Amino acid sequence: MERMTHERASGIKTGYWSPNKKEELVQRLAAYEDTGLEPREIQALAAASRRSDDAAAGWISVEDKLPPLGQMVIVYREYAWGDVKVEQGCRDLNGWWRVYDTRTKRITHWMPLPEPPKDMLTGGNDRDN
């Protein structure tokens, strides 16, 4: 996104806005206000979109990118006897991964966990009713 405002030096705006630029600013502000969203809501949507983009990309090789330490993800685990499993785990210290109650270095790929169901995010858990 192109930034429309300028930094202020000693409280004074730098740069010059022509009448056309001022009209463009007003129109962009109106478009933002028409969304009905607050800045924090827009930031949350942008973060969710980034997570969705990562998930849509599929498996991520541990040689290309690693998740943050301790963040739960879906992992592709190779066993010494040749089996492979898709499990949930997180990256630990010194190249280790925690998968359930074990530690392993045999993770080859990972992907972010999907978002929880929307009704669980809004507290709509009505299973007892």
Categorize the per-residue pLDDT at 93 as very low, low, confident or very high, splitting at 50, 70 and 90: very high
Tens of pLDDT, residues 28-84: 888 888 888 888 887 777 777 765 565 556 899 999 999 999 999 999 998 888 888
Q: Quick check: 4 pLDDT over 80? A: no
The model's confidence at residue 99, banded by pLDDT at 50, 70 and 90, is very high
- Whether the model clears a pTM of 0.85, i.e. scores above it, the answer is no
Distances, alpha carbon 23 to alpha carbons 14, 42, 59, in Å: 18, 23, 46
pLDDT of residue 102: 92
pLDDT band at 115 (very low <50, low <70, confident <90, very high): confident
Q: What are phi and psi of 35, to 5 degrees?
A: -70, -25
Q: What are phi and psi of 56, to 5 degrees?
A: -65, -25
Domain residue extents for the chain: 19-56, 58-114
pLDDT tens by residue, 28-40:
888 888 888 888 8
